[in-house]
Amino acid sequence: MATQTATISPTASLPAAPPRSSTNPYIGILGVFLGAGIATLNARLVSVGLPDLRGATGFGFDEASWIPTALNMATMFSGVFVVFINALLGPRRILLPTAAIFTLASLLLPFAPGYWEMLALTVIAGLTSGTFYSLTMTFVLTTLPKRLIIFGIAAYAADIVFVSNIASVLQGWYSEHLSWHWIFWNAAIFTPVMMICVHFGIPHRSVPSDPKPSWLGFTYFSLGLALLYGALDQGERLDWFHSGLIVGMFAAGMFLVLAAWVRRVLQPNPIVKLGFLKTRNIIILALSVFMFKFAHLSTIVLIPGFLGNIQRYRALQTGHALAWVAVPMFVVVWLVAGLIIHTDARLVLAVGLTVAAAGCWICAHLDSSWAGTSFEAVELLLATGFACTYVGLVSSIVLEGLEAGALTSMAAAATFSGFIHFIRIFGGQIGVAIMNRFVSVREQFHSNLLGLHVQSGSWLTYERLRMFSVGLFPGSTGSDASHARAVALLSQQVRAQAYTMATADGFVLIGWIAVAYMLLMLLLRPGKITYKDLRKMK
């Protein structure tokens, strides 16, 4: 389908109303929202609960690190693939069997007899849960009346931001009061509820006889992305291209993506329409997804990392320090949705990024004395900024998709949805890899600089070691032991200070990238559809 931005009218680009069915569409919407929340929460629980899982199973650090990587690689594989399957089969035929398999895998994971069995079940869980998130907004946009689309977006944003913020405290509570098994059983409990909603809320859809796509190209592309994702996820731990495994994963991933492109040229798939994705607005707005995921690292990577490494917070303590912002964020997304009806969604996106950047500038002044309560005011500021940013970006992307005709045909809807989910999953991991590498390099840089002022023979170093030795002497076996402990304590202080300064640099990086993206937004062409127009439609 060609791009329609030149002649589009507010009504021409909107999808036709869904056929009447005995199912209740609002129950179906609740089901897909539950699915998106379950998938997001499951991935976060596995990530933050990995130390507990490792301690309970006896897995080594290296082998256990592949469990969340395998889960996310499998999600990467199915997350883009499934939107094209959905174009043919419909969400009901996909979600019901995959949810059943995911529930069973989640129930069995704690009983896995060994490492490889757990890894295999994790891959199955990732493949099936990857379908949940990817089908959510497509179903909501094609089911809700046009005048309610903005509130569907707000509910979607509230769903995602809420579960993202409560993962740490929920995992900590499971660890303290139940067991590590609930990292997986949490999903096993709530997924059947989702299945009930899907059964009573999403109607059957006939399978079209045409087109007949070739799934080989999709397989090449999805498998290539999964390998690249795994390389990015494990790259920092394995020292990037100094590891043969990382080199191999990158090479194989790039080869498969290239093979998918060659197959696209030689045998185009009838349900892939890439033409309208070349428009400037869609590319710039799609990058806003990456921008949000990168900025969100401030609260899901930088602050938890600082509290855990510097203040030695346990998971439950970190969760209590961060989870409370889920409530104000849940409220703000609805207020922002109401505001967007009367203003420009892109303006709300820009304001949200500005507020988030301001919060990061404040955090850039942190020092090693900061604790959980020190972040409360700035967390509220960041939460407000992220709520505005997320609703603003999804709203802007939806309007641009409607304007470009992304929901007027099966092929266009699948292509647009697949492109956005590719940016969300793969672009998000690129951001994580960049941030982890940046913090690691900056920590080494600051450690070297601090080390220049902590030299053997310096009177300042000698005086500090003497003070430490005197203080540690009563608990030591002698002067040599107290001196050794003093040296270790000084080294620990240097590392803590270097990590604190590297974390501050991470906040600065987020702030500058937000500024750079807002400058890029100046290149956006004016939109032709607003949510005020949609509110006038039935």
Asked if 124 and 101 touch (Cβ cutoff 8 Å), the reply is yes
In a domain, 79, yes or no: yes
In a domain, 473, yes or no: yes
Domain boundary, last residue among 170, 185, 208: 208
In a domain, 197, yes or no: yes
pLDDT band at 98 (very low <50, low <70, confident <90, very high): very high
> Taking all residues of the chain, what is their mean pLDDT, rounded to a whole number?
80
Rounded Cα distance between 378 and 343, Å, is 26
pTM comes to 0.80
In a domain, 424, yes or no: no
Which CATH number characterizes residue 49's domain?
1.20.1250.20
Query: What pLDDT is stored for residue 202 in this prediction?
Result: 85
Around Cβ 60, how many Cβ atoms within 10 Å?
Answer: 9
Query: What pLDDT is stored for residue 276 in this prediction?
Result: 67
Please state the rounded mean pLDDT for residues 61-68: 88
Structural domain that includes position 477: 445-500
Which residues have a Cβ under 8 Å from the Cβ of 502 and sit 6 or more positions away?
439, 440, 442, 443, 445, 446
DSSP string computed for 152-176: HHHHHHHHHHHHHHHHHHHHHHHHH
- Per the structure, the count of domains in the chain is 2
SS3 per residue for 222-281 = HHHHHHHHHHHHHHCCCCHHHCHHHHHHHHHHHHHHHHHHHHHHHCCCCCCCCHHHHCHH
Which residues have a Cβ under 8 Å from the Cβ of 25 and sit 6 or more positions away?
18, 143, 144, 201
Q: Peptide bond preceding 91: is omega within 30 degrees of 0, i.e. cis?
A: no
In a domain, 191, yes or no: yes
Rounded Cα distance between 275 and 398, Å, is 17
pLDDT tens digits for 27-56?
A: 888 888 888 888 888 888 888 888 888 888
pLDDT band at 468 (very low <50, low <70, confident <90, very high): low
Domain boundary, last residue among 160, 189, 208: 208
Q: How far is CA 107 from the centre of its chain?
A: 24
Half-sphere exposure of 86 (CA within 13 A, CB side): 31
pLDDT tens digits for 269-317?
A: 767 777 767 788 888 888 888 888 888 888 888 888 888 888 887 777 7
In a domain, 236, yes or no: no
In a domain, 312, yes or no: no
Domain boundary, last residue among 208, 229, 245: 208
In a domain, 54, yes or no: yes
